Amino acid sequence: MKNTRLLVFAGSAREHSFNRRLARVAAGLGRDLGAEVTLLELADYDIPMYHADLEARGTPADVLRLKEAMDAHPGWIVCTPEYNGSYTGLLKNTLDWASSPVAGHPVWSDGSRPFSGKVVGMLSASNGALGGLRAQSHLAPLLVNLGCWLAPRSHALSRAASAFDDQGGLVDPAQQAAVRAVVEQVLWAAGRLHAPSAS
């Protein structure tokens, strides 16, 4: 797991988002495990709502920056909120832009490149009893369709309003252990899938 590059992001830009808090927990656990972690904030990217006419006028610079960040990390942790029983429009828009090929570009003309072969672990947080499980159930087939390897382990954090302490950590050690298990599995699989071939 040591030195494996891990990208962590939440499908929310809300200031007090439970899933952004959970992403910070996962990022910290990844660093504790020896990974080289990037905690990506979608609010730092100026990405409009996707439509083909806009894309035809030129792919936004921040979409290219997003593609580069995704491509550079063999392992990802995605923390998905649950809106109306599914993942957010922000997360869908992010994935739609990131998977869209850039015509004539020397690197990004293949829309599958940022996703193909990436090992992805899913986390979610919600104040409801299911913790965002329905959002995960919708997100999973989308990630597989994009060419990602989905980690068998996932975790849904329920009752999220009371799950974090004042420092942003998880109050319940069992919840901390469950998140750590997802991060460990992603790092383990990404390290093997992307290990240099023996000559």
Look at residue 2 and tell me whether its pLDDT is greater than 80: no
Task: Pull the structure tokens for residue 172.
Answer: 């319940």
Domains in the chain with CATH codes: 5-193 (3.40.50.360)
The arithmetic mean of pLDDT across residues 61-85, rounded, is 97
User: Tens digit of pLDDT for each residue in 45-56?
Assistant: 999 999 999 999
Residue 108 pLDDT: 95
